[in-house]
Amino acid sequence: MMIEAVGPIKRKFAPWDDPTLKPFIRFENVTKRFGDFTAVDNLTLDIYEREFFALLGPSGCGKTTLMRMLAGFEQPTEGRILLDGKDLSGIPPYKRPVNMMFQSYALFPHMTVEGNIAFGLKQEGMDTSNINTRVAEMLELVKLEKFAKRKPHQLSGGQRQRVALARSLAKRPKVLLLDEPLGALDKKLREETQFELMDIQMELGMTFLIVTHDQEEAMTVSDRIAVMNHGVIAQIGTASEIYEQPSSRYVADFVGDINLIDGTVTAVDDDTVTLRCAGVDATIVAEAGPGEVSVGAEAGFAIRPEKVQISLEAPPAGTSNVLSGEVWDIGYLGDISVYRVRLAGGSIVKATVANLTRIVERPITWEDKVYLTWPADAGIILLK
């Protein structure tokens, strides 16, 4: 199989929008039960070729189980999995064109780096000269040429991880599965590796499926993300779709920070919904979110902290969507400051502000009376 060199993608990559394209990986009504515990519940998911797809969710949501079913280590209790049109049921893991990069790396301690990378190729029955060429290619790809003869215990954590990556790519699988691959790395190394992974994926033109609980990671590397919860998919979309247009409270809360102010719907318009929030004694007008909203329904207003503007001065009279309160807590993080504002009813709203000027003493401090405002489309209404 030749490497298709795909250059940096300048046009928008969105095969899922293209009706002429068939999905590369398809989970069809897949259910997995362990005794009476349902790990994956009637899940259907399509992943397209050359996607870098992320399964995101907390521990126990079923993402790892889903991936292991694709790899062949678990069999679905119901439903089937198709890869490039072929049903994978009953095919053992050593016969699938899928390879996995394990969370613990799982490098064979009694073999050298070369031996580890060559292992899968030997199982295929490749002849020695081809194996050597391919191993050299892989070592170059992950920049470990000088470490070929070393054994895993002679490598650092980051180096081991790259060997694991090289080993899983050596066989040019149709799909590469990554099981929380960057968890053990420190922040800086993690960031670097994330970009390296993206480069490699584009260079090789492969389909990657990554499982992670780290939303930053998912958002950085992936083309699309599936947010999972208790065995079902809560939402699928690009990082920005999920962040700016969450389809439920769960997704809004899980990905990034969110402020949720509960209330009752008093009016529904063409493009706006009016919410009366008794708890904070305010009326909020906002964009309608997903789902049918009717007058009298219980709903919440959701807005991201960075979209909330905070000021010591009262806004001009007649401005809609204003909340006032007292600064309860401040977190100075260097690039941003996080203000937690306590409203009249006792609830807390978070506002983050980028620190655009190089001053040491910021104007807003504890116990200041402040006003929170936001543009009309900065938040959405989410049903309970």
Partner 1 sequence: MAERWTQEMRPFLAKWALVAVPYLWSLLFFLAPFLIIFKISLSQTAIAMPPYVPVIGGFGDLWSKLSDFTFDNYVFLTEDPLYYSAYLSSLRIALVSTILLLIVGYPIAYGMARAPKSLRNALVMAVILPFWTSFLIRVYAWIGILKPEGLITIALQGLGILGPNEQIHVYNTEIAVFIGIVYSYLPFMVLPLYAALEKLDTTLLEAAADLGCPPTKSFWVITFPLSLPGVIAGCFLCFIPIVGEFVIPDLLGGSETLMIGKTLWAEFFNNRDWPVSSAVAVVLLIILVVPIVIFQNQQKKA
Partner 2 sequence: MNKSTSWFNVTSLVLGFAFLYVPILILVVYSFNASKLVTVWGGFSTRWYVELVRDQAIIDAAWVTIRVGILSASFATVLGTMAALVLDRYRKFHGRALFSGMVYAPLVMPEVITGLSLLLLFVAIGFDRGFWAVVIAHTTLTMCFVAVVVQSRLVTLDRSLEEAALDLGCPPVKTFFLITLPLILPGVVAGWMLAFTLSLDDLVIASFNTGPGATTLPIKIYSMVRLGVTPEINAISTILISVIAVGVIVASVLSHRSQVEKEKAERAVFLGG
Binding residues (CB under 8 A) for partner 2: these are 71-73, 92-95, 98-100, 102-104, 106, 108-110, 119-120, 123-124, 151, 153-156, 167-168, 171
Closer residue to partner 2 (CB): 95 or 369: 95
299 binds, among partner 2, partner 1, none (CB under 5 to 8 A by kind): none
Backbone angles phi, psi at 251, to 5 degrees: -65, -45
Cα–Cα distance, 285 to 276 (Å, whole number): 9
Closer residue to partner 1 (CB): 95 or 149: 95
Closer residue to partner 2 (CB): 10 or 153: 153
Q: Which of 161, 173, 40 is nearest to 103 (CA)?
A: 161
Closer residue to partner 2 (CB): 124 or 329: 124
Provide DSSP, 28-43. Answer: EEEEEEETTEEEEEEE
Residue 157 touches partner 1, criterion: CB under 8 A? no
To partner 1, the closest distance from the beta carbon of 73 in angstroms equals 13
Token pair belonging to 363: 């104007």
91 binds, among partner 2, partner 1, none (CB under 5 to 8 A by kind): partner 1
To partner 2, the closest distance from the beta carbon of 103 in angstroms equals 8
Burial class (CB in 10 A: 0-12, 13-18, 19+), 47: buried
Closer residue to partner 1 (CB): 92 or 291: 92
Angstrom CA distances, 328 to 29, 79, 262, 325, 346, stand at 48, 51, 20, 9, 10
Q: Which of 42, 61, 52 is nearest to 9 (CA)?
A: 52
Q: Which of 82, 53, 54, 52 is nearest to 69 (CA)?
A: 82
Site map (CB under 8 A) of partner 1, residues 74-113, x = contact: ----------------xxx--x------------------
To partner 1, the closest distance from the beta carbon of 90 in angstroms equals 5
124 binds, among partner 2, partner 1, none (CB under 5 to 8 A by kind): partner 2
To partner 2, the closest distance from the beta carbon of 125 in angstroms equals 9
328 binds, among partner 2, partner 1, none (CB under 5 to 8 A by kind): none
10, 204 contact by CB (below 8 A):
no
To partner 2, the closest distance from the beta carbon of 297 in angstroms equals 48
Question: Helix axis angle, 157-169 relative to 113-124, nearest 10°?
Answer: 20
Provide the sign of the torsion angle of the four alpha carbons 8, 10, 11, 17, taken in this order: positive
141 binds, among partner 2, partner 1, none (CB under 5 to 8 A by kind): none
To partner 2, the closest distance from the beta carbon of 44 in angstroms equals 25
Token pair belonging to 257: 């920070």
Provide the sign of the torsion angle of the four alpha carbons 62, 65, 71, 74, taken in this order: negative
85 binds, among partner 2, partner 1, none (CB under 5 to 8 A by kind): none
To partner 2, the closest distance from the beta carbon of 62 in angstroms equals 19
To partner 1, the closest distance from the beta carbon of 209 in angstroms equals 24
What letters, b where the CB count within 10 A reaches 16 and e where it falls short, cover 216-243?
ebbbbbbbbbbbbbebebbbbbbbeebb
Question: Looking only at residues 363 through 382 of this chain, which bind partner 1 when binding is defined by CB under 8 A?
Answer: none
Backbone angles phi, psi at 109, to 5 degrees: -65, -20
Residue whose pair of structure tokens reads 């998911």 in the numeric block:
45
Closer residue to partner 1 (CB): 95 or 143: 95
Closer residue to partner 2 (CB): 167 or 224: 167
Query: How many residues comprise the chain?
Result: 384
Closer residue to partner 1 (CB): 91 or 285: 91
To partner 1, the closest distance from the beta carbon of 123 in angstroms equals 16
Binding site for partner 1 (CB under 8 A): 90-92, 95
